[in-house]
């Protein structure tokens, strides 16, 4: 049912902001409602996103709900794992240092993160060219 992370770096603490804390507190209330509804059928595994009886969610149901939410939001169908890829790419594009992203993703070292997400966006290349132009013109 549960498995250990691939690397020791997979066990980690990450910082979250107040809006995420509030969303998790709302989820905690929802879980309490689910416990009350399930009554003696509830099997507590101390999960943040359990099934309706407290067990781990079945991946098929997770994907089905995810695709439904994407459709409602008018977004294209993507894999659930693509959320992780999107988060990493957004952090890179917003200048978060690779070492920080690597730790948040649980990669064993920053080079792993660079191997997966080291591609530069056009905007990042444009910014780099502006910086180099500025440096070269100020030194001329």
What pLDDT, on a 0 to 100 scale, did the predictor assign at position 73?
96
pLDDT digits (tens, 9 = 90+) for 48-69: 999 999 999 999 999 999 999 9
Q: What percent of the chain has pLDDT over 70?
A: 94
Residue 50: strand pairing partners: 56
| Mean pLDDT along residues 128-140 | 80
Q: What percent of the chain has pLDDT over 90?
A: 60
pLDDT digits (tens, 9 = 90+) for 84-129: 998 998 998 888 999 999 999 998 899 999 888 877 666 677 777 8
* Residue 97 counted as domain residue: yes
Nearest to 113 by CA among 97, 102, 124, 100: 102
* Residue 94 counted as domain residue: yes
Three-class DSSP category at 50? strand
| Mean pLDDT along residues 14-26 | 94
* Residue 20 counted as domain residue: no
* Residue 100 counted as domain residue: yes
What total of structural domains would you count in the chain? Answer: 1
Nearest to 52 by CA among 37, 68, 73: 37
Task: Identify which has the larger pLDDT, 140 or 1.
Answer: 1
* Residue 135 counted as domain residue: yes
């Amino acid at each position: 049912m549960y498995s250990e992370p691939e690397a020791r770096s997979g066990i980690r603490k990450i910082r979250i902001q107040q809006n995420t804390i509030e969303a998790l507190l709302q989820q905690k209330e929802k879980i309490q409602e689910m416990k009350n509804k399930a009554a003696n059928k509830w099997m507590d595994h101390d999960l943040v996103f359990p099934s309706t009886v407290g067990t781990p969610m079945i991946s098929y149901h997770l994907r089905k709900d995810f695709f439904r939410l994407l459709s409602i939001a008018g977004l294209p169908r993507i894999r659930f794992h693509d959320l992780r890829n999107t988060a990493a790419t957004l952090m890179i594009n917003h200048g978060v240092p690779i070492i920080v992203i690597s730790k948040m993703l649980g990669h064993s070292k920053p080079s792993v993160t660079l191997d997966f997400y080291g591609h530069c966006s056009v905007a990042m290349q444009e910014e780099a060219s502006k910086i180099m132009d500025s440096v070269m013109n100020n030194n001329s």
